[in-house]
Chains A and B, each alone.
Chain A
């Protein structure tokens, strides 16, 4: 298989088959907190996608060209979270300067992204599993697109659920979790495609 086909297959598998939200529970907090309006879910998803890709782009070289030569690979988590926090700040400032309209729609989600498990989780698992740079980039792109897909689909479902007549005890978070369970079961059907 050519290198590009492998790259694309890795993206598809990280996005659909091994979806981060439904199989590894990354970003569940923001998923439940923000995900009941399609528009805000879309903005949040885009911002997370951008930060995940950027963070993986920066964290992988830092691990292999700074931390390992310096003999302190155990400092990875601490360095990654600092890199992510400062990246989020820089991205926020950049967007604010270049496109105030975009900042208006993304702005309130930016601080939330620092504490989104998906960002740190991807950066951490890239180096923990010993991926090459290309592998870690395909992991980052697939994971973040998977997050975007799920958070938008989920917001669509929740918008409908809000106006329907559901048992009182299930209103809100319990129903969101059961919905996620049904989605996870649906995505389980995709397992085995890549193999």
Chain B
């Protein structure tokens, strides 16, 4: 029974860790090239995230299934061939079924082959773990990456184009445009077109990372302050019996102990 529980928590761990805690883009800062290039619209970013997840899950499954067969010396080339095969399959399927997505992603679909995250998960996780765990790991990291690039794209599309369009790429959804910073008639327009330019991609990604770092720094200071307060209290408690009752009112015991 117990080993089953442990296994279940391990499954959960390999799935969840990639989504927020070890988010491949915002925490490890990997796979930045497509994250900056295709995030001008939310739909393209979402499509890229889906294809990325598909490639990552498939390559993780195959690589972990073959992990005992692949000799260590040719690990990397073997992984690249597996990944490239899945990227080719993905390219052909996308071209056939969602041609608008294929043309909007362009060469960046092929560049999934050299995406650091896919190769990184293969070398860091899939070649050491079971097939099922690798599947979950791929799924978790894929979802985390998709979330991250959709967040970047949301900022860039809403602030840069002033609108939010759905149905331009995924044509099976009825096309609808939400006007946020400008209106359809063109009476006002507060959008900043710089954000749809490459420079805007760098700015948005840099600012998001800075916010994440600031939150992390803040949390670290809180943890540090709590630890110091705990040490302070413990020291005070220890010092109390030593100090005679009369002097205890005047003295600050923690300072003396330190």
Contact = CB atoms under 8 A, between A and B. Distances in A.
A150 B174 CA distance: 43
Interface in B143-173: none
A22 B214 CA distance: 26
Contacts of B91: 74, 77
Contact of A115 (B32, B92, B119): B119
A190 B116 CA distance: 31
A152 to B, nearest CB: 18
A182 B203 CA distance: 8
Interface stretch (B176-184, B194-202, B250-258): B194-202
B225 interface: no
Most A CB contacts (10 A, CB to CB) among B85, B198, B200, B211 go to B198
Contact of B36 (A28, A77, A170, A178): A28
B84 A29 contact: no
Interface in A153-194: 167-178, 180-182, 184-185, 188
A107 interface: no
Interface stretch (B2-10, B46-54, B106-114): B106-114
B33 A25 contact: yes
A65 to B, nearest CB: 20
B234 interface: no
Given A24-B37, A78-B85, A81-B80, A116 B114 contact: yes
B217 A78 contact: no
Indicate the size class of the contact surface on chain B. Answer: 35 or more
A169 B217 CA distance: 7
A22 B198 contact: yes
Contact of A184 (B31, B32, B202, B214): B202
Interface in B191-247: 194, 197-203, 205-207, 209-211, 213-214, 217
Interface in B70-113: 76-77, 80-81, 84-85, 87-88, 91-92, 106-107, 110-111, 113
Contacts of B110: 76-77, 120-121, 124, 128
A170 B213 contact: yes
A29 B34 CA distance: 11
A174 B201 CA distance: 12
Interface string A107-132: 00001001111001100110010000
A21 to B, nearest CB: 9
B210 A25 contact: no
B114 A25 contact: no
A26 B114 contact: no
- Most interface-central of B37, B77, B119, B199 (chain A CB within 10 A): B199
Nearest to B116: A29
Query: Counting chain A CB atoms within 10 Å of each CB, which of B88, B194, B202 scores highest?
Result: B202
A81 B206 contact: no
Interface centre among A29, A77, A111, A120 (most CB of B within 10 A): A77
B227 to A, nearest CB: 20
A78 B84 contact: yes
B88 to A, nearest CB: 6
B66 interface: no
Contacts of B106: 128
A173 B199 contact: no
Contacts of A111: 76
B210 A115 contact: no
A168 to B, nearest CB: 6
B87 A77 contact: yes
A32 interface: yes
Identify which of A74, A121, A169, A170 gathers the most chain B CB atoms within 10 Å of its CB: A169
23 contacts: A22-B198, A29-B30, A78-B81, A81-B84, A81-B113, A81-B114, A82-B80, A85-B80, A114-B76, A114-B80, A115-B114, A115-B119, A120-B114, A124-B111, A128-B106, A169-B213, A170-B206, A173-B209, A174-B213, A178-B203, A178-B206, A181-B201, A188-B199
Given A128-B110, A173-B209, 5 more contacts: A26-B33, A76-B110, A77-B87, A81-B80, A169-B211
Interface of A: 22-29, 32, 74-78, 81-82, 85, 111, 114-117, 120-121, 124-125, 128, 167-178, 180-182, 184-185, 188
